[in-house]
Structure formats: C-alpha cells, structure tokens
C-alpha cells in the first residue's frame, strides 16, 4: 500500500490530493492482488488436473494449447463466463448475490499482509499474522450466507459443515503459529521471515522438535481450513452434490472458485513465511527472493494436491474428533514445550 502510494506520489507530483493518492494506491493494490488470485486459480486448476491424472495413471487435459493442455484453464474460463447467470426462484436474493463477494473479499484482504520479498508487502502491519487469521475467519460468514440463501438442503448441510469446520480448525491453526511468535517476539510477517535468516537450519520448523510438530499441525489444519480433501466434507460430491455452491453458476461460481484456489495458495504462503523461511534460500545469501518464496509455496500446494488425490475422505464425526481431541491438545503441548525449550536453551528474554 505504502509502496504504491509513494509510486503514485512520484508519478503525479502534487497533482493528486492525499485522498486521491490513498484511493489510487489502494485500488491498484487491490487490482494487483485480484490478478494474483486469478492467476493462482488458472495455474492451479491446470496443475490439479495434471496431478490427479498422474496419480490415477492417466494424462489429464491434453488438447487445448500445444503442450499438455496448458491452455485448458483459459478455455474453462471462457466457458464459465459464458454461462447463464441463474438465481433460483426461492433463493434469498440479496444474500445469494452478496455471498460470493463476501468470500472473495475475505480472501483478497488477507493477501495484503503476505511478504513475498523484502519490502514487497502490500500492508506491512505490526499485527500481520493475526490480521491474516482474522480476515480469513470472516469468510466463514460468506459460506453460511451462500448455504442459507440457496434454499437447498444440500447447500445448507454443506454450509453448516463448512462453518463448523472452519471455526474449529482455526484454533489449532492459530495455536500452531504461537511458538513462532514467541521465538520471534513479533506478529509482523516481515520480522518473522527476517528472524529465519542464515540457511535451512535457522528456519523455524527446524528450530526445535516442538516447532516441527507445530509445523505438521499447521499443515494439516490448513488443509482442513481451505476445505480440501481429505477434509473436503463441505463439498463432498458423493453426498452433497457440491456443498454450499451447488446453486451457483457463471460469474458467481467463478468467485467461489477463485477464492478457493487463492485460499489454498494463501495458507501455503503463510506456512512458507512462518515456518519455511519465507524468501530465504536453503543456504547462502538472499537470491531472487520473490521466486524462492513462490517456489516454496507452490511445492506446499503440490503436496496438498498429492494428499487430496491419495487419501480417502474422513467422516464428519472423525473430522471433529481429530480437531478437538487430538490437534488442539497437541498444539497446546507444542506451545508449552516451545516455551520450556526457549527457557532451557536460554533464548527467553
């Protein structure tokens, strides 16, 4: 945000008032982030189908585009934009229209605090990590809104499951990050990345055994948080048609789709920044920071896809059991253990 505002100030000089600068900077930043989200969705849908094909011993899309169907997502996009925009007759119209945007905006706002490279962060907030969890938790309301407004029992089931799952798995997700915050002494995403300078052994997931467990907990919870297999109960196509976005078509469906893949990349970016050293390379000096960051995050995304197409889906009660009786206590043990470790090794101030 600051970067953009400064840029506009330099371009236009005194031609723009402070408000104009604020609006112009904010809009540009939002546009850039929306483009990042769109490209995420485009790249990852193709990757997802290719990964699925590879795991199931088939090719996946091969036709559109010269090489291995690389242009398939573009064709899909054109198709989705050409679809008729259907609003069910008995739907709660205002809420039905609003829901995709609430989900999309919740996901878009979280991108502001992701540090892709030194200085390349939309909003360098003191509360960066906390902020990301906060705005992504707001998207839960959008899920409930979509499920209720559709006036369809499958949608409502999906929404109820999705909201319960998101609210529950946020707890281990946030608790797993607390040891890192304790070590760094800051919630600022930049500070967290900078604290991991100096090669892979300085990255937080190798800091001590408790943090390694915390990283695994974060990874599992993040898969559940973005509603993907083996935790994709809100959308279970074998039970609920498509969950809370069953009734959506065309552009509105595209918003759900965009938000889903953007969230997938978002949790991987947070994991990269918090546990895997952010833009810091495996060893040696900082080199092409943005690229290093994106490669790490994309590898995590591929890992999530691998899990999705390999593991069977959980049952609803198992899902809650895992969260409340296994992951939350384990995360609390990690917080305690990391604190004791800091005391024992003399890192506590």
Partner 1 sequence: MSGDLVFYGFALLTVLSGFFVVASRNVVHAAFSLLFTLFGVAGLYAQLGADFLAVTQTVVYIGGILVLVIFAVMMTRIPRGDAPRRGLDRAVPAAILALLVFALIYMVIVGTRWPERAAGAPEATVAEIGTGLMTTFVFPFEYASLVLLAAMVGAAILIRERAPADDAADADDAAGEGEVRS
Instruction: Report the C-alpha gap between 56 and 104 in whole angstroms.
Output: 32
Q: How far is the CB of 252 from partner 1 (least distance, A)?
A: 17
Q: For partner 1, which stretch binds (CB under 8 A), given 59-67, 133-141, 217-225, 330-338? A: 133-141
Please give the full DSSP string across 320-332, using - where no structure is assigned.
HHIIIIIIHHHHH
Closest CA to 88 of 145, 150, 27, 42: 150
User: Segment 97-126, which members bind partner 1 (CB under 8 A)?
Assistant: 98, 102, 125-126
Here's the x/- map for partner 1, 289-328, by CB under 8 A: it reads as ----------------------------x--xx--x----
Contact 189, 129 (CB under 8 A): yes
How many residues touch partner 1 (CB under 8 A)? 38
Please give the full DSSP string across 261-294, using - where no structure is assigned.
HHHHHHHHHHHHHHTS-TT--SSSS--SHHHHHH
- Taking CB under 8 A as the criterion, the residue among 34, 38, 64, 160 binding partner 1 is 160
Q: How far is the CB of 226 from partner 1 (least distance, A)?
A: 15
b (16+ CB within 10 A) / e for 165-174:
bbebbbbbbb
- Taking CB under 8 A as the criterion, the residue among 104, 131, 203, 275 binding partner 1 is 131
Comparison of 294 and 322: residue with beta carbon closer to partner 1: 322
- Could you count the other beta carbons within 10 Å of the beta carbon of residue 80? 14
Binding site for partner 1 (CB under 8 A): 17-19, 22, 92, 94-95, 98, 102, 125-127, 130-131, 133-135, 137-138, 140-141, 144-145, 148, 151, 156, 160, 163-164, 167-168, 170-171, 187, 317, 320-321, 324
């Amino acid at each position: 945000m600051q970067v953009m505002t400064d840029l506009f100030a330099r371009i236009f000089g005194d031609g723009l008032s402070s408000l104009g600068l604020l609006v112009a900077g904010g809009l540009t930043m939002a546009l850039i982030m929306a483009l990042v989200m769109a490209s995420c969705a485009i790249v990852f849908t193709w990757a997802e189908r290719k990964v699925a094909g590879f795991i199931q011993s088939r090719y996946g899309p091969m036709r559109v585009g010269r090489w291995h169907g690389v242009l398939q997502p573009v064709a899909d996009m054109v198709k989705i934009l050409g679809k008729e925009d259907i609003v069910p007759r008995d739907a709660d119209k205002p809420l039905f229209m609003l829901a995709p945007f609430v989900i999309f905006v919740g996901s878009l706002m979280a991108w502001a605090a992701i540090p892709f490279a030194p200085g390349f962060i939309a909003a360098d907030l003191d509360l960066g990590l906390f902020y990301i969890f906060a705005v992504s938790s707001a998207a839960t309301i959008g899920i409930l809104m979509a499920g209720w407004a559709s006036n369809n029992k499958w949608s409502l089931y999906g929404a109820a499951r999705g909201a319960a799952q998101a609210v529950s798995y946020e707890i281990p997700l946030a608790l797993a990050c607390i040891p890192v915050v304790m070590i760094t002494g800051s919630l600022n995403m930049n500070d967290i990345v900078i604290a991991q300078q100096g090669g892979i052994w300085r990255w937080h997931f190798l800091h001590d055994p408790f943090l390694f467990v915390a990283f695994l907990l974060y990874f599992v919870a993040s898969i559940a948080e973005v509603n993907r297999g083996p935790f994709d109960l809100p959308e279970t196509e074998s039970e609920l048609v498509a969950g809370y976005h069953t009734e959506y078509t065309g552009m509105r469906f595209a918003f759900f789709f965009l938000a889903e893949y953007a969230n997938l990349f978002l949790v991987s970016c947070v994991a990269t920044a918090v546990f895997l050293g952010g833009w810091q390379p495996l060893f040696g000096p900082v080199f092409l920071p943005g690229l290093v960051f994106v490669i790490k995050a994309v590898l995590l995304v591929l890992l999530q896809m691998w899990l999705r197409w390999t593991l069977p889906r959980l049952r609803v009660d198992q899902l809650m059991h895992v969260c409340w009786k296994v992951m939350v206590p384990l995360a609390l043990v990690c917080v305690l253990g990391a604190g004791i470790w800091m005391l024992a090794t003399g890192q506590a101030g």
